Structure 1
Amino acid sequence: MKRFRIALYAVAGLLVFLLLVLVIFMAVFNWNLLKPTINEQVSETLGRPFAIEGNLDVHWARDHEAEGWRRWVPHPTASAESITLGNADWGKAPYFVRLERVELELSPLALLGKRIAIPRIQLTGPSAHIERLADGRANWTFEKLTTDTNDAEKEKAPSAWTLDIGTIGFDKGAVTVADEAQRVDVALNVTPLGKPIPYNEIVGGAVGKRNDEAAAPQDYAFAWDAKGRYRGQALSGEGKIGGLLALQDAAIPFPVQVDLRAGNTRAVVEGTLTDPRNLGALDLRLRLSGDSLGNLYPLTGVTLPDTGAYATDGRLRAELQNAEGPTFRYEGFNGRIGGSDIHGDLAFISGEPRAKLTGDLTSNQLLFADLAPLIGADSSEEKKARGVEDKQPSERVLPTEEFKTDRWRDMDADVRFTGKRIEHGETLPISDLSTHVVLENGVLSLQPLSLGVAGGRLDTQIRLDGQRSPLSGQVTLKARSFKLKQLFPTVETMQNSLGELNGDADIRGTGNSVAALLGTANGDLRLLMNDGTVSRSLMEIAGLNVGNYLVGRLFGDDEVQINCAVSDINFKDGLATPRVFVLDTENAVINIAGSVNLKTEGLDLDVVPRSKGLRIISLRSPLYVDGTFKNPSPGVHAGPLALRGAGLVVLGATVGPAAGLLALIAPSGGQADQCGPLLEQVKKAP
């Protein structure tokens, strides 16, 4: 027993002696003698020139911030000054990374388990030049060339040693990014704040609020600013960050503040980054504003429609290590687009084969003018107000602006939108809107697009196939129970009417604009209206100059009761031809025949009245309308007209069109059906 104690004391004494020798050796040894060896070995390993040009030193110190017995265990702390890591041979910058000084702590006990544990690294005066070429070569990727097969196999074999880095501290520094692949050319500078700013003083408790067990966000310690270009747009920004980047403890949040401008788009971000080593998660407050949502596409790759000026404020969460792909959620945001409010939740998954946008959006008060840019129907004045170049030809009425179908194939979407109330003055009585937008592999569908119109509903199904060039489109439409007194709220004589408007349409076409689609349209349109009035004042309110002329010629300045108006129009290759187009008024039956060419916007119509009984109307000869949509030319036929078209009552009509229109008869208020007899007359006409 005595010998065992003596042996134990001897071993302990030897260990203490060796430790003292090691401490003395490390204290007195000139570590600069190792610089050539270190420089050579690192250069060979990385395939880049590496140099420690300043002093290299190692000393022992205790970690006073550690707990328990660990604070009494000394550990070596290494420091090096004036360190440079060279750039790739194709790089334009003079170096990749340069440091004025680096100091790191090493945990000696971890070496027993083949683990290189560095609890803390402090970087002084860091600067870096980050570069990537268009072909994908990046200067942050190190490729050591080797011709030895055995060496290559050794490099592929996993190392038995692991590297753990705790926290990284830094002070003022500079970084330049030149990325040809992403079209980025930005210079970033980081400088210490004069005094740290508490996290809650800038962000508050709404964002980044954590439970009691989680670490609180650290103070803001540095200010940063950036300037350059991003994807062709001028970029500038500023903000604040924390001073200690925790790599080992993913629960320690790193505070971030960003105020970034790219072109006319501005993003303001406040919140935290957690697990930065793995780009784990973001929890931010995001305020976004700009001239048009469409301008976000070159910046983010997210396909959004062209709109008026917008601004939103919400909470952005990101799960960057999601198995389906990095996921970004913009939750509970509120904002405006043009003069309309917008609220909801969106999620964007940057996965394969395409990114996907999903969400639910609501607008409590939606201005109809803000919807016009979505279909290319905004006026020249509205485009000018939004700073958008008007490409509409002066001689055309139908919108010719092309859909940007190339963007449709970049991502998928599944978004529901509800507009609870739509504002457009008194002349357009649209009350509400709801739609389900689905974009999948270049095919855009609105299934359905439903609007409340004049006390009734307009339900449509729209499908645009952007996979084809030109795209193909199909629209099915069902209009039911449009109340005429609500459809024309400013026409006094309509306010006593119980009449309704109903209609169906199924139209297909090809083309990359509204004008092109209609110019190749094939399909049918049926409309039926009962119990209304018509007058020159009504045409003036509707802005129909030709209609004003025709009504004046037919009826003078009087209000005329319309018992029923029916139309069944066939579309073939953009040519609209009425099978039946009849207005039954209190003193005449009026037939319209001819055609409308949607491809050329040409008009070629005849308007033929037939007086009822002995009632004398103001026109004894038929009318015509020719010219174009932009410049129509109405007039009176000089002589008797050889009536044309199967749609005229006086010449008879096929049973098919009349039977199709019978399905639209839905008299309201219990009044007599005035369209049924007219359609029966059409079917029985000789």
Structure 2
Amino acid sequence: MTRPGPKTLTFLGLAAAVAGLAFAWDWNWFRGPLERHLAEQSGRAVHIGDLHVAFDRGLDPTVRLRDLHIDNAPWARATAGKPFAKAGEVAFTFAWRSLIERRPVVSHLLLVDADVSLERRADGLRNWRLRNPDDRGPGKFKFLRLEAHQSRLRFAHEGIGLDVRTAATDLPPAAAPLTSRIAFEGTWREAPFTGSADTSRVLTFLETGEAFSLRGHGQSGKTRLDADGQVTDLFKLDGVEADLTLSGPSLADVRRLLPQAWPETAAYTARARLSKATDQWHFTDVRADVGTSDVAGELHYNAHADRPYLEATLTSRTTRIEDVWPEREQPSAPSEGGKADDDSPPLRDFDGEVTLLVRSLHVSGLPPLSQVRVKAHLDDGLLDLSPVQWQLAGGQAQGLAVYDTRQRPATLRAELAWRNLRLEQLLPPLPDDGEATGPVSGEFKLTSHGASARTLLANATGRATALLKGGRLSAGLDARLALNGGKLLRAAMGGPADVPILCARADVQLKDGQGEVFPLLLDTAQTRIDGRGRVDLAKRHVDLLLTPRPKQTAPLSLDRSLHVTGTPDKFDVALVKQEAIEPQVACDAPAAVKPR
């Protein structure tokens, strides 16, 4: 065994002497000077009942203060009337190397039976700065760990609109490793919140690399967040590995709590596994239900880039548009020009790319869309959906949409083409077992502006065309549309089962959500029906006039026109005085719109 050298023996002797002196020294000799020094520097009354220094953690000194009382800053508003600190015991353990380098690091802070009120004004003034109370610069001390017993802390930050009160109590030893309960309540951006969390005995901050366990919940209004996992940095919420559950009546309710805005939705519950390191947020095993809609997948959010960036890959079994984008109840207030001044959806807070597959998409007034594939790219408020593909009514559709929220109000450009959609699947049930079949193809191109579905429909301008060739019409329905009593009797007595549709066509010219339907044509082997009318997209209302012309002599036919009004959910049909409608061009030829 090697004997220690003289230098080692000298160092050990000095260390033992210092430790013995620290143990035997009455540190209260320094209590009075320390009180006076802090009082003179801060301009507040300071009382210390007992002062002691120990070396409980190797060479790291622990300064223990008992029966501590420090008055609040005279400028305090949120915490006025409360002392800055009142504690049965406060203990600061300093990393000895940080003291030598004059960069004080409190490796461990202990609070016992303490009430602490922290307040920071918007201009950076802090009430916890005693030696330089007017200093608004970066902090001088770094805190790494906090252990609190039967203690209360309030933190008011005027600059970010945060005011939170916490109370820490001890849990029974059997609850380990969750041995502390922290109840909290307060307001953030004027939104009240409350909750509680069971945690490990010591909470960690900054670069310790040590994780503590946490299980708890927070609630604001009817929005609730549950968390269960581990956190490494309580200040930055860094080094997180936790299971999260978020629920509430609408995602719009979190607008007051989060910097990014969220849309109005139906009631929702979302679950995910969160892994966070620095500014990288990774949500995996995402499962969410919004009303009767669902979505699953994963999201990755980078908050550190020049602009925050979101990437997501999502799949939905069923999505209903009214769940994720319901209509607004109230219209926007008129602007000075008298028109609605819709606020654009705030999509400029971040960029991103989202890939979405919806196996069954339900839109009011349409049959279910299947296998909807969308790739969305968001760049500085410009949302590009291209391509958009889906299957509908036995056919296929493909298009694009570009939504530009950089404009005010936001603008939309949309194009869609569809091929071979089955008419019988598009139409609602027809009376008296009537039936119309055939492949429908067409397209639309439109522009619009606004922030809600209703507003976008109300402002839509463009053109749509639908064309059917080679279909069939039941004989009874053909007779009723032709207003031909003779054909109706023959159909009722077992005449031909159906009638070929030579051609059917509808063109719609849109301006500000109002559409003129012309030409409107249904040409069967026995009857030609010409029509015209108008549609109101926002109200989903149609007003059509149809005038049939038999191709053969029909003594029992009525010289009347059909007036069709209503919505896709319910149509009303009335006989009116016959109005001649000039026959249009050939069914498959382009047609110029003619005013009524």
Q: What's the counterpart of residue 412 of structure 2?
A: 473
CA contact (8 A) 1:84 1:97 kept: yes
Cα distance between partner residues in 2 of 1:248 and 1:441? 32
Of 98, 122, 137, 2:110 maps to 122
How many Å separate the matches in 1 of 2:143 and 2:512?
Answer: 70
Deviation at 1:612, TM superposition (A): 1.0
SS at match of 2:346: helix
Tell me by how many angstroms 1:492 deviates: 12
Shift of 1:487: 3.9
Q: CA deviation at 1:590?
A: 0.8
Shift of the alpha carbon at 1:515?
4.3
Shift of 1:584: 0.7
Q: 2:215 matched to 1:257? A: yes
Change (3 A) 1:491 1:230: same
| Amino acid paired to 1:345 | E
1:189 alignment partner AA: A
1:36 and 2:32 correspond: yes
1:12 and 1:516 map into 2 onto residues whose CA distance is 83
Q: Rate the CA distance shift 1:480–1:266 in 2: closer, same or farther, 3 A.
A: same
Residue in 1 that maps onto 2:315? 362
Identity of aligned residues (%): 22
Aligned match for 1:350, one of 303, 308, 324: 303
Cα drift, residue 302 of structure 1: 3.2
Q: What is the Cα deviation at residue 192 of structure 1?
A: 0.4
Deviations 1:94-137 (A, max 9, x none): 23333321234567688667676766443322332233446665
Aligned counterpart, 1:209? none
Contact 1:518 1:598 in 2 (8 A): yes
Instruction: Report the TM-score when normalising by structure 1.
Output: 0.70
Relative to structure 1, the CA distance from residue 356 to residue 171 in structure 2 (aligned partners, 3 Å threshold; closer, same or farther) is: same
Alignment of 1:101-500 (within 5 A): 101-105=89-93, 120-133=108-121, 139=127, 144=132, 167-198=145-176, 219-246=177-204, 250-276=208-234, 280-320=238-278, 326-351=279-304, 354-363=307-316, 365-367=317-319, 370-376=320-326, 390-391=329-330, 405-422=344-361, 428-487=367-426, 499-500=438-439
Measured on the aligned residues, the alpha-carbon RMSD in Å equals 4.6
Contact in 2 for aligned 1:549/1:634 (Cα 8 Å):
no
CA distance in 2, matches of 1:449, 1:416: 11
Structure 1 counterpart of 2:318, one-letter code: L
Q: Give 3-state SS (helix, strand or coil) of 1:303's partner.
A: coil
Contact 1:560 1:586 in 2 (8 A): no
Aligned length: 571
Q: Secondary structure at the match of 2:263?
A: coil
User: Any idea what the Cα deviations from partners look like across 1:638-681, whole Å, max 9, x if unmatched?
Assistant: 36x4545xxx23xxx3x8x94459xxxxxxxxxxxxxxxxxxxx
Partner of 1:51: 46
Distance 1:80 1:482 in 2: 81
Aligned position for 1:585: 524
Over 3 Å counting, the alpha-carbon distance change for 1:619 and 1:392 in structure 2 is farther
Instruction: Tell me the residue number matched to 1:201.
Output: none
* C-alpha spacing 1:111/1:306, structure 2 compared with 1 (3 Å): closer
CA offset at residue 141 of structure 1? 6.8
Deviation per residue, 1:494-527 (Å, 9 max, x gap): 9998721111000112344444444443321110
Q: 1:28 to 1:305 in 2, by over 3 A?
A: closer
Provide Cα deviations, 1:278-298, integer angstroms capped at 9, x if missing partner. Answer: 754211111111222232222
- Bigger share in strand: 2
Aligned to 2:494: none
In structure 2, the CA distance between the partners of 1:375 and 1:114, relative to structure 1 (3 Å rule), is closer
Give SS of 2:34's match: helix
SS of structure 2 residue aligned to 1:95: coil
Flag the 1:450–1:296 CA change in 2: closer, same or farther, 3 A: farther
Q: Note if contact 2:435-2:474 (Cα within 8 Å) is conserved in structure 1.
A: no
Paired with 2:429 and 2:156, the residues of 1 have a C-alpha distance of: 61
Partner in structure 2 of residue 91 of structure 1: 76
1:54 shift after superposition: 0.7
Query: How far did 1:264 drift?
Result: 1.2
Tell me which of 550, 553, 567 is aligned to 1:614.
Answer: 553
- CA–CA separation in structure 2 for the residues paired with 1:291 and 1:409: 25
State how far apart, in whole Å, the 2-side matches of 1:632 and 1:290 are.
38
**Cα 1:87–1:586, aligned 2, differ >3 Å: closer, same or farther?**
farther
What is the TM-score when the length of structure 2 is the normalising length? 0.79
Deviation at 1:568, TM superposition (A): 2.5
Q: CA deviation at 1:44?
A: 5.8
Q: Distance in 2 between matches of 1:114 and 1:575?
A: 74
Hey, what's the Cα distance between the residues in 2 that align with 1:119 and 1:133? Answer: 27
Q: Distance in 1 between matches of 2:21 and 2:160?
A: 51
Structure 1 alignment gaps of length 5 or more: 1-7, 64-69, 147-151, 199-218, 321-325, 378-388, 394-399, 540-547, 662-681
Paired residue secondary structure (2:111):
strand
Task: State the 1:602 CA deviation.
Answer: 8.1
SS in 2 for 1:294: helix
CA distance in 2 between counterparts of 1:629 and 1:482 reads 17
Residues 590-609 of structure 1 mapped to structure 2, 5 A cutoff:
590-596=529-535, 605-609=544-548
CA distance in structure 2 between the partners assigned to 1:403 and 1:433 by the alignment: 29
1:352, distance to aligned residue in structure 2 (A): 6.5
Report the residue type matching 2:260 in the other structure. V
| d(CA) in 2 for partners of 1:328, 1:265 | 21
State the AA in 2 paired with 1:293: L
**CA distance in structure 1 between the aligned counterparts of 2:130 and 2:484, rounded to whole angstroms:** 85
AA aligned to 1:129 is S
Q: Which has a greater percent of helix?
A: 1
Q: Distance in 1 between matches of 2:430 and 2:47?
A: 88
Query: Does structure 1 retain, via aligned residues, the 8 Å contact 2:47–2:70?
Result: no
Please give the alpha-carbon distance, in whole angstroms, between the structure 1 residues aligned to 2:354 and 2:240.
23
CA distance in 1 between counterparts of 2:257 and 2:383 reads 22
Q: How far has the Cα of 1:55 moved from its partner?
A: 0.9
Counterparts of 2:300 and 2:150, CA distance in 1 = 36
- 1:506 is the counterpart of 2:445: yes
Alpha-carbon distance between aligned partners in 1 of 2:507 and 2:331, rounded to the nearest angstrom: 30
Counterpart of 1:281 in structure 2: which amino acid? Answer: G
Per-residue deviation at 1:174?
A: 0.9
Q: 1:555-604 CA distances to partner (integer Å, 9 max, x unpaired)?
A: 86968633321123222454423442211123211111354466898866
Offset from partner CA, 1:378-399 (integer Å, 9 cap, x none):
xxxxxxxxxxx84489xxxxxx
Deviation at 1:444, TM superposition (A): 3.4
Shift of 1:481: 1.8
Note the C-alpha offset of 1:438.
3.4
Specify the alignment match of 1:523 in structure 2. 462
Tell me if the contact between 2:419 and 2:441 (Cα under 8 Å) persists in the aligned partners: yes
Structure 2 portions without partners, runs of 5+: 333-338, 492-496
Matched, 1:570 2:520: no
